[in-house]
Amino acid sequence: MMGKYLVGIDVGGTTVKCGIFTVEGELQDKWEVPTRKEENGKNILPDVAEALKKKLQEKSIASDEVAGIGIGVPGPVEPTGYVHVCVNLGWTDRWPAKEMAELMGGKIHCAVGNDANVAALGEMWQGGGKGHENILMVTLGTGVGGGLIVDHHIIAGVHGAGAEIGHIHVRDGEKEACNCGGHGCLEQYASATGIVREAKRVLAAEEATASKMRDFGDALTAKDVCDLAKAGDALAEKSIGISMHYLGLVLADVSMVADPELFVIGGGVSRAGQYLIDLIKKEYEALTPLLNKKADITLATLGNDAGMYGCAKLAMD
């Protein structure tokens, strides 16, 4: 590799997060570009390329000093780099890496990956998973996402379903359907939405027990449940315990398939911090009697920048 710099471009539904890094992983500068989704998102990559060229000029970085540009896409990416459909961007039938390379003059190596997978790569490179080569990153947000890295490489899966751990079945007899059409998926209990749903079920089932969760009514959030659980509210503790039991169960499943050395927990819900990690760890460890040595569980550290970091790392590989 000749260049000294890497560029990470994490394309989201509303903004594109861009960053220039040294090949050692030090962030030099970052900025955002609005995601223009109109006309099937045809302006998104040209907008990014224009802003990037300007930024490189501003920082007196020549094209041949850029070792690579990585692009993260919020949807499935085939191993060839082909994007069949990306609903969140309005894209159909696109080759984002090839297009970006052309926009930048045809001489810079470009790569593309799915956003959840590149976020895992980012956390491994410069975040909670630094120093490790085999990790599962879990994103607890509106949904439950995952990114699996084995021996430094993303396991994307032949149908793009690699590390789709939010859709592992954990509860029999569930009546409500998950977004995927299944019943009893992890996402239904451990996402921000799922944590609230479970809390409301616990409240309904234990009508006679007092809980401050009741004061929030329909406005109850996952953060409220975690905060009240930390404060000792019995029903909040019970419901977050159920949610994290299922997450621990899924991490145990992942250990029995890919056996990583570390789980990195990120996403909005993970702001509950070490309290949440301790809950997950307790469940996970009880469910992996086969392992003499358990995988560790830790918090993600890069927040919303994880994808941008991972895009840069992707361009290096």
* CB of residue 180 to a copy of itself, shortest distance in Å: 4
Between residues 180 and 231, which has the closer beta carbon with respect to a copy of itself?
180
Whole-angstrom distance, CA of residue 270 vs CA of residue 298: 10
Binding test (CB under 8 A) with a copy of itself, winner from 72, 113, 143, 260: 260
- The CA–CA distances, whole Å, from 86 to 11, 44, 46, 145, 147 equal 11, 13, 17, 17, 18
Closest distance of CB 89 from a copy of itself, Å: 19
Contact predicate 113/77, CB 8 Å:
yes
State in angstroms the smallest separation of the CB of 279 from a copy of itself: 18
162 binds a copy of itself (CB under 8 A): yes
Contact window for a copy of itself (CB under 8 A) among 90-98, 118-126, 168-176, 299-307? 168-176
- Per CB under 8 A, contacts with a copy of itself among 193-212 are none
3-class secondary-structure state, position 293: coil
CA-closest candidate to residue 110, choices 162, 49, 58, 22 = 49
Which C-beta is closer to a copy of itself: that of 260 or that of 266?
Answer: 260
Q: Tell me whether residue 64 or residue 317 sits nearer to a copy of itself (CB atom).
A: 317
Under rule CB under 8 A, residue 175 binds a copy of itself: no
Binding marks (x or -) toward a copy of itself, 100..139, rule CB under 8 A?
----------------------------------x-----
The minimum distance between CB 22 and a copy of itself, in angstroms, equals 29
Of 33 and 314, nearer to a copy of itself (C-beta) is 314
Helix, strand, coil % in the chain, rounded to nearest 5: 40, 20, 35
| Binds a copy of itself (CB under 8 A): choice among 15, 258, 282, 299 | 258
The DSSP result for 90-149, as a single string, is TEEEE-HHHHHHHHTTS-S-EEEEEHHHHHHHHHHHHSTTTT-SSEEEEEESSSEEEEEE
- By CB atoms closer than 10 A (0-12, 13-18, 19+), residue 232 is exposed
The CA-CA-CA angle for residues 264, 268, 24, to 5°, reads: 50
CB of 48 to a copy of itself, least distance (A): 29
Which parts of this chain interact with a copy of itself (CB under 8 A)?
134, 148, 150, 155-165, 167-169, 172, 180-182, 249, 252-261, 287, 289-293, 295
